[in-house]
Structure 1
């Protein structure tokens, strides 16, 4: 059996190895795969393991031996699922591997905004504290999280973890979710109400036709001018032109993003805005998180080969 890994550079290194997959067949691992290279590399492969490689509908016609795709991520919008299903190709994703890490990074971004750690560290390094006449120097206003309204949009495993952390900080948590959870301890609201009421609004939904550009000018205009928008989910949830307009015109106080519509970063209007913090899609990258990811991907493949697949998308 031939196993092709199309974007190994996004998965391996830093204490993580792809060698584990060699026990299941012949492995051909590529650092990255351009769209025009995909069909040739998958021509005689039965298994594809990918992270962000786009897998469009035509690939399934060109690669008739392909029987299984292991998505090395939670989101699977890079794969044409309808085409995979039509061709009898099983697709499994990695489920909840990144819950703790993404929730942690979400609050790192929130705390960065309200506690001003980076600004104060830079000030101390510039000698501000050495030159001070008082024991405390406070040019950057800080705020408590306690009492603020945390609006969580999407109440899957990551959203629930973020909500729990927010509650532990003393925040008042409200949630907007497509499905109504049982015994939810938080106030359930519509997406529009979440935007309007939030002091901090954080996105934890998949990118679908229904959620694309859910952050847009209409909703941004309803937000508090003191609000913070956080996105550690998918860049396509945000209309970046509309968000840049809102940030430049004081419609909201700030944004903190780990994802963008185009990755690596392209020509986004958000680049360089003082009230927009951007990290390069790193919420999922702690060592323990990536080790867990590959363990789940391996288990998915092993159970598929055993005839009992798990985490099945189609």
Structure 2
């Protein structure tokens, strides 16, 4: 009989149904798990489910019975995959479930910032409409999406879906070649060109040691068109101190972030210090979280576990993912 332990069930909304795996098992569910509780709670477990609870090599080394880490998300940076690969622990993730919810959230941020909706709403609440003395007022610029150049970092399922929606808006999507690479090929725009010519830049790539801080001060200074920066990927992709400086210096027009480098962010973190600005929107890592997407995720999570036990594992990832 397999012992399955879900370390952070509260990361999936309570109304989402999590079906029972179709094999003999014991399922133990915890809403949250602190770092010091991980080893005790996973003792004797053959299958661990985690969304964001970190499973380091030091932790994994104390869990000899563990055979599968089922990640309840697409990103697997919470797991030491190199250790797992070296010690016969499979790692499976969730794929394709967010193909609508993340792109829709991405465009919600784009539209709100491009049309200065937050700033205008704040003005209305402050009485500016009445003081204007006419049917409208023009305190903030408004820009259409049509014709805008959209730099997309990450050409996976989400990046491709964002590009499809962008074309429907009449935008010009550009898939950025990887930073530092030359000879991008016809499907990709060189990294430096993407930075210099985009009106909006949106990130849809995983966080790895190579991608951490991929947008920092040199990149912001290369953004000749003062673009919006949209990040629904991972907080660590953007240097947050550099982001604050870029906003202060007017190097970018605004920022729409659904992620932070450390979640929840500390009250005095760079992201929280700028969260109240009218050209900044910070949402609490919910781009993925439509009810429809969460149910797809929950169903796929159990599918991955059942398929692994049946000997036909799905969605396995390796140390390079």
* Per-residue deviation, 1:176: 1.4
The equivalent residue for 1:305 is 309
Structure 1 distance, partners of 2:45, 2:22, is 14
Are 2:276 and 1:272 aligned? Answer: no
TM-score, normalised via structure 1 length: 0.92
Are 2:290 and 1:289 aligned? Answer: no
Are 2:21 and 1:9 aligned? Answer: no
Kept in 1: contact 2:304–2:315 (CA 8 A) = yes
Unaligned runs of 5+ in 2: 179-185
Structure 2 distance, partners of 1:200, 1:233, is 15
* Per-residue deviation, 1:305: 1.1
Q: How many residues align?
A: 307
Q: 3-state DSSP class of the match of 1:69?
A: strand
* Per-residue deviation, 1:125: 4.3
RMSD of aligned alpha carbons: 2.0
User: Given the superposition, is the C-alpha separation of residues 143 and 53 from structure 1 closer, same or farther in structure 2, using an over 3 Å criterion?
Assistant: same
1:210-229 deviations in Å (ceiling 9; x for gaps)? 11100111111100253111
Larger RCO: Structure 1 or Structure 2 (Cα < 8 Å, ≥ 6 residues apart)?
A: 2
Kept in 1: contact 2:204–2:231 (CA 8 A) = yes
User: Given the superposition, is the C-alpha separation of residues 37 and 46 from structure 1 closer, same or farther in structure 2, using an over 3 Å criterion?
Assistant: same
Structure 2 distance, partners of 1:23, 1:124, is 58
Structure 1 distance, partners of 2:167, 2:241, is 32
User: Given the superposition, is the C-alpha separation of residues 190 and 82 from structure 1 closer, same or farther in structure 2, using an over 3 Å criterion?
Assistant: same
Which deviates more from structure 2 when the two are superposed, residues 20-29 or residues 101-110? 20-29
Structure 1 distance, partners of 2:76, 2:197, is 31
Structure 2 distance, partners of 1:246, 1:219, is 10
1:289-310 deviations in Å (ceiling 9; x for gaps)? 1101001101111111111111
TM-score, normalised via structure 2 length: 0.90
Q: 3-state DSSP class of the match of 2:150?
A: strand
The equivalent residue for 2:176 is 176
Are 2:56 and 1:56 aligned? Answer: yes
| Residue pairs, 1:32-71, within 5 angstroms | 32-71=32-71
Structure 2 distance, partners of 1:21, 1:253, is 48
Structure 2 distance, partners of 1:41, 1:305, is 21
Q: 3-state DSSP class of the match of 1:302?
A: helix
* Per-residue deviation, 1:119: 3.1
